[in-house]
Amino acid sequence: MQGDVVVTAESTNTFYTQIWALIDGMFSAIWSILHPVLSAIDPLCGRVGVFSLLGGNGMLSCGDLGWGDEIAHGFYITASLAICTLPLGLAIGFLLALAKQSSVGQLRTAADIYTTLFRGLPELLTLFIVYYGLQIVLQNFAGSIGFSGPIEINSFIAGMIAIGLVFSAYCAGVLQSAFQAIPQGQYEAGYAIGLTKSQTMRLVIMPQLLRIALPGLGNLWMILLKDTALVSAIGLPDILRQTFTAAKVTKHAITFTGIACLLFLALALLSSVIFSWIETRTKRSEGAR
């Protein structure tokens, strides 16, 4: 009996290992194509990167001696965490907004519990609860199917889930008020010309919804960007953690903590530029009046 269990555990193990190897191989193939291009145009450590131009041979240079490349790596981790969290949070937030204005009482209550919970908890606590709690849950689950090894959750995934939960709770509020700003007549007009429910949603409501919700979503994106800094507390080597390590090693704390702040400012500046571009683009359809 004991033997059986062990065998299943091992076979699933090898199965996952194979899949993992496949995914890994795929990514490394993509990476080998993209890497030369990306490393050349990298704004931090590329040919004309900030650190490669200003760093010289000092502690900010991009080689083995300096911290430029580590910090640049952290910068991309922060950026990719935020970018990966955004679609997750938007999708959950959209569903929540739909649930909040549904005619089914249970659905509304459930969505309200969700938003109350994740708006009320500190982001850091949510992160810890997800990080440690998920580990405990998975450990128990794996134990029940006969796998008894230590399970460690990837801190990137944990950060994505936790920040996505918080983001979606706020996003639901923004989308809900945007939904309320769309007149009932828009739905009725959609049905009147024979569109189905999903077609009305996609072709009539969504474009207007996006335009109304965009400023609110822009604010939420900025908050999301700042929340990603918290994942350094569970060990993800993001901007803050890399600069903190650099500060500890080199004893130039003010330089490196200052660089962390400046990098976050750069992200904020970049996203405000992108958002204003998107906003002018969505406003085109309103036409000249």
Partner 1 sequence: MTYVAEMIPARAAPPEAVQRYSLSRFAGSLFMGVWVAIFLGTAWFMYSGFSEEKFYKYGPRMISGLGVTLQLVLTSLVLGALFSLPVVYARMSKSRALGAIAYGYVYFFRGTPLIAQLYLVYYGLGSFRTFFEAINMWWFFREAYFCALLAFTLNTAAYQAEILRGAIESVPRGQTEACNALGLSKLRAFLTVILPQALMVALRPYGNEIILMIKGSAIVAIVTVFDLMGETRYAFSRTFDFQMYLWAAVLYLVIVEVLRNAWNSIDRRLTRHLKR
Place of tokens 């901007």: 239
**Sole window of 112-120, 154-162, 172-180, 205-213 interacting with partner 1 (rule: CB under 8 A):** 112-120
How many angstroms separate the CA atoms of 110 and 172, rounded?
13
88 near partner 1, rule: CB under 8 A: no
What is the total count of residues that contact partner 1 (CB under 8 A)? 51
- Among residues 59, 84, 121, 205, which is the contact residue for partner 1, using CB under 8 A? 121
Based on the shown chain and the rule CB under 8 A, indicate whether residue 169 belongs to the binding site for partner 1.
no
Provide the minimum distance between the beta carbon of 225 and partner 1 in the complex, in angstroms, as a whole number.
8
* Secondary structure, 3-state, 88-126: HHHHHHHHHHHHHCCCCHHHHHHHHHHHHHHHHCCHHHH
33 binds partner 1 (CB under 8 A): no
Closest CA to 40 of 23, 25, 52: 52
Among 9, 129, 138, 195, binds partner 1 (CB under 8 A): 129
Task: Report in angstroms how near the CB of residue 201 gets to partner 1 at its nearest.
Answer: 13
Q: Does 111 bind partner 1 (CB under 8 A)?
A: yes
Euclidean distance between CA atoms 135 and 156, whole angstroms: 14
Among the listed residues 54, 136, 181, 249, the single contact to partner 1 using CB under 8 A:
136
Does 215 bind partner 1 (CB under 8 A)? Our answer is no
Nearest approach, Cβ of 232 to partner 1 (angstroms)?
Answer: 8
Cα angle value 181/186/189 (rounded, 5°): 170
Single out the segment in contact with partner 1 by CB under 8 A; choices: 8-16, 52-60, 150-158, 265-273. 265-273
User: Which part of the chain contacts partner 1 (CB under 8 A), choosing from 183-191, 210-218, 261-269, 281-289?
Assistant: 261-269
Residue 220-259 contact track with partner 1, rule CB under 8 A, x = bound: --x---xxxxx-xx-----xx---x--x---xxxx--xx-
Residue 267: closest CA among 56, 74, 51, 38:
74
Q: Which long-range contacts (CB under 8 A, 24 or more apart) does 111-119 make?
A: 111/172, 114/169, 114/172, 115/169, 115/172, 115/173, 117/169, 118/165, 118/166, 118/168, 118/169, 119/166, 119/169, 119/170
Question: How far apart (Å, rounded) are the C-alpha atoms in residues 39 and 160?
Answer: 26
**What CA–CA distance (Å, rounded) separates 208 from 234?**
39
Interface with partner 1 includes 156 (CB under 8 A)?
A: no
Binding of residue 103 to partner 1 (CB under 8 A): yes
Please identify, using beta-carbon distances, which residue of 32 and 184 lies nearer to partner 1: 184
Q: CA nearest 124: which of 36, 213, 231?
A: 231
Task: By CB under 8 A, tell whether 187 contacts partner 1.
Answer: no
Q: Residue 238: which residues within 8 A CB-CB, separation 6 or more?
A: 74, 77, 78, 81, 228, 229, 231, 232
Q: Which residues bind partner 1 (CB under 8 A)?
A: 99, 102-111, 113-114, 116-117, 119-125, 128-129, 132-133, 136, 222, 226-230, 232-233, 239-240, 244, 247, 251-254, 257-258, 260-261, 264-265, 268-269
